[in-house]
Amino acid sequence: MQRITYQPGDSFLHHLHPLVKLAWLVGSTAALFAIQQPAGVLSVLFLAAIAFPLNALKIHRVRGLRLFAFTALLLFLTQLFFASTDTPLLQFGPLRITEAGITRGIYVAGRLLSVVLLGYLFVLTTEPNDLGYALMWAGLPYRYGFMLITALRLVPLFEREAQTVYQAQLARGIAYDARGFAWSGLKRFFTLARQFFLPLLVSAMSKVDALAVSMEGRSFGKYPRRTFLREVAFTRRDGVALGVLALAIAGVIAVRWFGG
């Protein structure tokens, strides 16, 4: 399974400016909540899904997608059976299936999956350093930009360390899957949580201490402005992408306004 982190590549999305991709993410998410028809939500979901193979990304290998798909299915079933008051098409005891329930279920589930896929596309194709540099170029204070870059880079590191701690504790005989009574099971849960998170906390504190010493040694924060070794250039491709986004948002507003 692919980690939810930047995947190097040479696709169209990989070469887009990070701020342009961020604008597309925010604009597409806002459009999803403005669109009131399931057909529009399904169109965005289809475009987000086909963007994965078009940009050399394997959607079926993205970690966590099954969980979101299962959540979307539960939302669909909830809307299907319990969020409808029209004349039922089918009825199984207290459960009623109506046309409004089907429409509402497709709309809610499709919107959730669309937002998730759009977020995955942004994370998998955006290098954290480039995003931080682009935000600082746009006016974000470099202290906050450095904080963002550090957080994005430490997340996969802590994920790997969590897997190491988990495997090491399994090798030492700790049984995470053992079951017991309600009270004993709850007490055991907190014991296992303390044993699992304590090594991660110690490792995190040591890394933070080393990072602080390194920043002080390099006089971080001494100057109000900073220079960059690598700058992200804004190209014609980015301008075209922003133009398409503007047209898409205008179309959504027009449909929303004139369609009532």
**Whole-prediction pTM:** 0.75
* Predicted local confidence at residue 158, as pLDDT: 82
- What digits encode the pLDDT tens for the residues 75-108? 888 887 776 666 666 666 666 677 778 888 889 9
Give the Cα separation of 115 and 28 in Å (integer): 8
Mean confidence (pLDDT) of the chain: 82
Residue 53: is its pLDDT beyond 80?
Answer: yes
Q: How confident is the model over 44-55, as a mean pLDDT?
A: 90
Give the Cα separation of 93 and 39 in Å (integer): 30
Give the Cα separation of 151 and 153 in Å (integer): 5
- What digits encode the pLDDT tens for the residues 133-191? 888 888 888 788 788 878 877 777 887 888 888 888 888 777 666 555 444 567 777 77
Do the beta carbons of residue 143 and residue 245 sit within 8 Å?
no
Give the Cα separation of 98 and 85 in Å (integer): 8
Percent of the chain residues past pLDDT 70, beyond the cut = 88
Neighbouring CB atoms inside 10 A of 260's CB total: 6
Q: How confident is the model over 39-44, as a mean pLDDT?
A: 89
Beta carbons within 8 Å of 67's beta carbon, 6+ residues apart = none
* Predicted local confidence at residue 24, as pLDDT: 93
Kindly report which listed range (15-24, 179-188, 237-246, 248-257) carries the lowest average pLDDT score: 179-188
Residue 243: is its pLDDT beyond 90?
Answer: yes
Please state the three-class secondary structure of the chain as a single string. Answer: CECCCCCCCCCHHHHCCHHHHHHHHHHHHHHHHHCCCHHHHHHHHHHHHHHHHHCCCCHHHECCHHHHHHHHHHHHHHHHHHCCCCCCCEEECCEEECHHHHHHHHHHHHHHHHHHHHHHHHHHHCCHHHHHHHHHHCCCCHHHHHHHHHHHHHHHHHHHHHHHHHHHHHHCCCCCCCCCCHHHHHHHHHHHHHHHHHHHHHHHHHHHHHHHHHHHHCCCCCCCCCCCCCCCCCCHHHHHHHHHHHHHHHHHHHHHHHCC
Neighbouring CB atoms inside 10 A of 157's CB total: 13
- What digits encode the pLDDT tens for the residues 20-33? 999 999 999 998 88
Do the beta carbons of residue 130 and residue 18 sit within 8 Å?
yes
pLDDT confidence band for 253 (50 / 70 / 90): confident
Residue type, 53: P
